Structure 1
């Protein structure tokens, strides 16, 4: 009987899938059930899965009709035989000692969830740019964890399901699942749902999980007009989670995060790979900034930095044209001055 199930949802990942599978097969911890779930891929992903299943008896392959990553992860949960489960995306990689160290941590401290840090690895041709996101070291109850959740949110250690170990029994007994109705954020919703029912958490700072960003200059062309509404839904879920554990001093943090998320929704409209009309861009900016909850958060955070103050000033007066001009200028500066803009942006975000 395997001690840990590794679930890998796969859709058209043929270019990178072998690297992912090998990184799991080569783990120093060997008592694994490796689930390769082909979600209706139209490339050679299915063939790669079948080839590796012949190489390693721990690998189980399932081919199914395309239903999306959430449904695929939910399917994996029903097939899990291990005491614990971890999720790995098919274009990512994990360090060879990740599972062993997470397993030792969760067992030694008798925790319900173990978390490690991660790396963002941007790959362009033969060049790699690695940014490490260390996870704060922690061992304690869920309430104690939520008391310092700001730190884990800032290091992006909570939002995704990867780089973690979960108890399969906790997931199955509480019928926790990835919501299939969300176009994004379903992974964060899963983690929040798990936190609601678990008792203790352990985290280690080591960056063992690698989020691979292949050909990072080619960005997604998808535009989600409902993105701010999903962000607000996620923050409502976070607020509900905090209230469940009688934590009521995080409102300011949530307001700041909503402001950052709103700006992010608008900034991504200026990605060069997105074919967006001026009218659509204007509509998304309007629906994002003029959202009642968003505008309230900017009013509460207008003294936190100059950008929030300016956006609130313009939004309050419905000056959508000047708001557009502001973001146009901001994007022009980013493109023209690149590295300097990134440094200034990082400094500004550190003040949030």
Structure 2
């Protein structure tokens, strides 16, 4: 029998958390689901623990692969899913009793291509923070896109990019072959949902907060990020900008917020450059100047420092950028003394 809901869980070295995660799902009063667990090459006892639980629970479908990263693991889960709807839960997170019933009750009483709700963020010191969407109720995708930017880019809570607070229709994912971009190491979830938003007609938002996002375990979920790919992050914000344009949902306020984000990341390419060398600077200039949104974002520079940096980037002043970045690094070291 085909389940209504497919829950996809990627796992990499989560022996401390996986039993709690699976138990919190299996104890739900709502039961019309399958759990697809993708073991992404764990080197600890995660696999043994999952196998032990799956032996007595037919709703768990367990698969083991060589380590390839969380995006590959999630894509494998999508390919294996059979439910009408797809939900993602991370292996170090857990859900409250009644959580799935509350979510699926919303689905039964309404019809939308996407459901979004809140999360509870749990910290290592046992404190927690509740994040709820500012929006609530039914929205056409155009109205949703017009309104979500302010919250996403001003509050920096990232609710509209999180993987864990959304319910998707599997037929939309399959029809348009929506997958996680496997080359991305940061913001791959936001990139995924920007693609999904493109094919939505409507969205329902509500105030459920039964999902517990456990902070501080990020680096045990796959390959470590050795270097931030700022150009890829800029491209994700450009993708958002183009999505709003294509959907006639771009306002002057939204555009300014997106351009400000692009500008700050373009500057971070040089602030965070390691090592500082002309070869890296030359490559950065090539990438930045080939993206017209970057040049447009410089119109909003405020401080003299930003104006000087923007001018050197625009003029391809490699030596100026080399010495400017070196001096900035020395200044930061002196400040810390």
TM-score range normalised by the length of the shorter chain: 0.7 to 0.9
Name the CA distance, whole Å, in 2 between partners of 1:331 and 1:59: 52
Question: TM-score, normalization: structure 1?
Answer: 0.78
CA contact (8 A) 1:103 1:165 kept: no
Cα deviation 1:10-49 (Å, max 9, x = unaligned): 1122222222222222334222211111122221111111
**Displacement of 1:282 after TM fit?**
11
Flag the 1:216–1:110 CA change in 2: closer, same or farther, 3 A.
Answer: closer
After superposition, where does 1:69-88 map in structure 2 within 5 Å?
69-88=70-89
CA contact (8 A) 1:135 1:207 kept: no
Flag the 1:24–1:152 CA change in 2: closer, same or farther, 3 A.
Answer: farther
Is 2:125 aligned against 1:132? no
Is 2:69 aligned against 1:53? no
Cα deviation 1:39-87 (Å, max 9, x = unaligned): 2222111111101112433211112233322222122122222211101
Higher relative CO (Cα under 8 Å, sequence separation at least 6) belongs to 2
Q: What SS is found at the alignment partner of 1:148?
A: helix
Equivalent residue in structure 2 for 1:223, among 218, 222, 226: 226
Q: What SS is found at the alignment partner of 1:71?
A: helix
Query: Where does residue 91 of structure 2 map in the other structure?
Result: 90
Equivalent residue in structure 1 for 2:261, among 245, 257, 264: 257
CA contact (8 A) 2:230 2:268 kept: no
Name the CA distance, whole Å, in 2 between partners of 1:62 and 1:80: 12
Query: Where does residue 176 of structure 1 map in the other structure?
Result: 178
Flag the 1:110–1:331 CA change in 2: closer, same or farther, 3 A.
Answer: farther
**Displacement of 1:266 after TM fit?**
6.7
CA contact (8 A) 1:5 1:82 kept: yes
Name the CA distance, whole Å, in 2 between partners of 1:216 and 1:190: 19
Cα deviation 1:142-174 (Å, max 9, x = unaligned): 111011121442431111322110011111122
Q: How many residues align structurally?
A: 319
Query: Where does residue 42 of structure 2 map in the other structure?
Result: 41
Unaligned runs of 5+ in 1: 270-275, 337-352
Name the CA distance, whole Å, in 2 between partners of 1:34 and 1:150: 32
Flag the 1:131–1:280 CA change in 2: closer, same or farther, 3 A.
Answer: farther
CA contact (8 A) 2:103 2:208 kept: no
**Displacement of 1:239 after TM fit?**
2.3
Name the CA distance, whole Å, in 2 between partners of 1:289 and 1:94: 46
CA contact (8 A) 2:6 2:87 kept: yes
After superposition, where does 1:135-154 map in structure 2 within 5 Å?
135-136=133-134, 137-154=136-153
After superposition, where does 1:280-295 map in structure 2 within 5 Å?
283=280, 287=284, 291-292=288-289, 293=291
Unaligned runs of 5+ in 2: 313-319
Is 2:212 aligned against 1:214? no
Name the CA distance, whole Å, in 1 between partners of 2:193 and 2:329: 33
Give the superposed CA RMSD.
Answer: 3.3
Question: TM-score, normalization: structure 2?
Answer: 0.81
Flag the 1:195–1:323 CA change in 2: closer, same or farther, 3 A.
Answer: same
